[in-house]
Amino acid sequence: MATLEQRRAVEELVYRSCLALDAKDWNAFLALCDPAFRYTIAAYSPEVRKDMVWLDHDKAGMTTLFNNLPKHNSDHAPLTRHVTVYTVDVKDGGGEAEAISALQVFKTALDGGATELFAVGRFHDTVRLDGGSGTLVKRTVRLDTRQLGFGYHVPF
């Protein structure tokens, strides 16, 4: 069971990670990540009855991915991540926590500002706790949404 302080540290980290990604402030996001950070996007396909991995990088891989983004063509519509931290379980004598959060991603069109629900899923985060703060050691985004349309390849 997490203490209130531990839970608050995890929530603060998860929410700040979303704000950084929403703002496309990749450096701010990476600053929240541990050197051993691992980021994965996964989904289960009922169509082929398989678990699929759609993205899998360590911190260096994520850094390269972010650096390369400007060289690629993308839909520039901003994404807004809405997250609610459901559970926080502390282990390793209080040094690490595992958190499960609900994720909804909304896309807002640049022209006209219409917003649509883009994706839903969950964050499964592993957080290293140090005093009153935390760093992301591992984030697995498990997507329920598997039909993502066109033009976007920025991690959730």
Partner 1 sequence: MAKSAADWAARPKFPATHYVDSRIYTDQAIFEEEREKLFRPSWIIACHESEIPNPFDYRLFTHPAGVPLIVVRGDDSKVRTFYNICPHRGNTILYDPAGNAKRMTCIFHQWSFDTRGACVDITRAEQGYQDRYGKQDASLREVRTEVAFGGFVWVNIDDAAPGLQEFIGGALDILEPYMQEPMELFHFHRARVRTNFKLWHDTNSEFYHDYLHYFNRITGMMQPGYFERRYTAFPRGHATVGSMQIQYDKYEGSVERAVGWPGLARGGWYMVDVFPGMTYNLRTSVMRIDTSIPLGPNEVLIEFRGLGLKRDTPEERAQRVFDHNMIWGPFGRNLHEDLLGVHGQGRAMREGTDSRWVLQGREENSTIHDEVGMRHYYAEWSRCMGRPAYDPYLEGKPVRAAA
Applying CB under 8 A, the site for partner 1 has a residue count of 33
Binding string to partner 1 for residues 14 to 43, with x set by CB under 8 A, is what? Answer: ---------------------------x-x
The span from the CA of 150 to the CA of 156, in Å, is 15
Task: Compute the least distance from the CB of residue 112 to partner 1, in Å.
Answer: 13
Applying CB under 8 A, among 56, 116, 130, 144 the residue interacting with partner 1 is 56
- Under the binding rule (CB under 8 A), the answer on residue 144 touching partner 1 is no
Choose the stretch contacting partner 1; rule: CB under 8 A; options: 2-10, 24-32, 55-63, 94-102.
55-63
Query: CA angle at residue 106 from 101 to 112, to 5 degrees?
Result: 165
C-alpha separations of 139 from 18, 34, 154 in Å: 12, 11, 15
Applying CB under 8 A, among 1, 4, 27, 71 the residue interacting with partner 1 is 71
Q: For the chain, report the end-to-end CA distance as a whole number of angstroms.
A: 28
Distance of CA 33 to the CA centre of its chain: 11
